[in-house]
Structure 1
Amino acid sequence: VLNDDTAGTGRTDGRVIARTGPALGYQLFLPNGTSAATARRAGDWREISLGPGTSAWVPIAEAFPIAGPRPGSEIAVVRTRVRKGWSEVVLPLAEPLPFRLEQRLDPARYAVWVYGLVANVDWVETSIADPLIESVRWGQPENGVFRLDIELAGEQPWGWRAYREGAHLVLGFRHPPEALADRRFRSPLHGVRIVIDPGHNPDTGAVGPTGLEEREANLAIALELADILAERGAEVVLTRATPDSALGLYDRTNLAYRSGGEVFVSIHNNALPDGVNPFVHNGTSVLYYHPQSEPLAEAIQAELLPRTALDDHGVWHQNVAVLRMNEMPSVLVESAFMMIPEQEAKLRTPEFQREIAEGVAAGIERFLRERDP
């Protein structure tokens, strides 16, 4: 049984990350309580068996052995339902089995593989009232591997979630914000709940040549951004609003979930690892992780560049904890480079902080305007 929060602190994301090999790339995000057959051990890592010839690796500290047969289940029906703001697909299982979900865009669709599940499906029960789920198809591509293909209405998914009801697996797909349904004579920001995350603290983040700490610059920009968004009608949630407020990474994402956030933007300023010349490789960039967040990253980058007047350092797919949130579009903005003296000097000025905040706000507004409610 997998569990990343054995102490019950509630300060994790409630998922065990399964990797391609010991300490290698991320492969699966498995809700706590998932049952999986274990295999080899390598140092502090344990292999879990998935489908035929397929496995993943999890930290031993998050895998708790229980004697018993290999986890498995049959499935006879797939159901859909509508909950407030979400369309859900329910898979009634006898055990909480591991799964993999892959998101694709244009059209919005999801492929889901459930390992250890054998199909005995007589029907797929769909809700006529569902505004989002267009079709659900199932298959058994391999022994012990069940596949679902879920197609949604529209080209842009807003977010998804996976959780357990007992052993049952529930896959949820988020509807666009209700506020976007009526945009007559007002900004698309109006009524949308936007979570602004000033990066770092208690750690300082990067430190500039004259001692400017990244956490200071991030907070100043985030407060400007919060004011701009609120003036345009957005509902703003700040993960921290004062210099002495300190949060862990998962405290930030859990706050975004609990507050009902619909868009998440983390404010940062950049540094480069050792061995990379920052005087050649620098500029403004925006990071994302899930495909649903890429259009938001592109919109913010397009609006930031003319305001920072820095080089285009790109829109990047990157594995960062706050970006792995899948319930809403989530991006991380790297507006400037702390270790470049000229950029550090600009980051100290309220004028440049305001320009960055204006660019991020315009990018969010552009993203929302282009979304089909």
Structure 2
Amino acid sequence: MRAETQNNVDAIQKSLNLLAQRMDYETARYRLEEFDARVEDPTLWDDPDAAQKLMRDRQVLVDTLTMHDTIKQELADNIELIEMGEMEGDADIITEAEEALKSLREKAAQKELEALLDGEADANDTFLEVNAGAGGTESCDWANMLSRMYVRWAEKKGYKVELQSMQSGDEAGIKSVTYKIMGHNAYGWLKSESGVHRLVRISPFDSAAKRHTSFTSVKVYPVVDDNIEIEVNPSDIRLDTYRSSGAGGQHVNTTDSAVRITHFPTGIVVTSSEKSQHQNRDIAMKALKSRLYQMELDKRSALVNEAHENAGDAGWGNQIRSYVLQPYQMVKDLRTGFETSDTKGVLDGDLDGLMGATLALDMSGKGRDAANAD
């Protein structure tokens, strides 16, 4: 077996070992038997919420076991094909199996990263909020570019994206936008995107073609499901209704249907402007509870507080990532050091490399040095 092929085999086996460890493979089959026994209980659906949670948990376990066993079987099959090809002197069989192992290595590495998404709310849907920072029209255009980047990423993942609210820029772009992104592990993938994103480029709005630096902040917080209790005292909030317009001044609401909720103890402000007033009120309250829950999650994790803090102004000193389009092409994450020259791909939603590098940090709180000590 060639050295490159052996390296692929070793990498796949390493990913399999990590997957088995994360899911506690030795007891996973027993846990599945327990789930199956509970599913057969005729009283299961007496509590629909509990039943739905059990079915979701069971399906996650089934999918994880199936994925692990499928990769393991494909690894064994392709090793066998290579050995058979070597015995028979069939170069075509060897080449086909080696190419299959290359693809399987990428698949296994991706599943290894997903195995890190085992936090309390990682599996949840998520709210993603983009706000233009310092820089006027430039930052509004940058906010629009970032929001498009995340929508493209979500679509590639097969997630559903629902616009919650949007405020257009005075001349171009957007001042702010909030999306609800729905799909398994949506929050887990996106949570590391919270922070300030810096753009350097030749401004299309500058007749002198000078280079400009713009800042936009991104906030990500999990959608709170029915199993998480977040109490909001009615006396702690103010609810305002107002008239809003969509992008480019279109779809103007003729009534004061948009809703803004201000939470006095924390200063959190959430809005919703894309539905009826009743729906907007419900959406904004859910968004507020999600923001409060995110604050609670941050309190429990010093690493999250340090690495994903985004309370500051969208400007110098708070950025987590730089996107340089001029005088060279480079996207660099300042937390992990991960960089790529494929700026077009990143802005078109190819974010898994950047997100994966952040996920690969030691989630136990030991930091980058410990994570890279392997």
Q: Indicate the TM-score class for this superposition, using the shorter chain for normalisation.
A: under 0.3
Larger proportion of helix: 2
Indicate the structure (1 or 2) with the bigger Cα radius of gyration.
Answer: 2
- Taking structure 2 as the reference length, the TM-score comes to 0.27
- Taking structure 1 as the reference length, the TM-score comes to 0.27
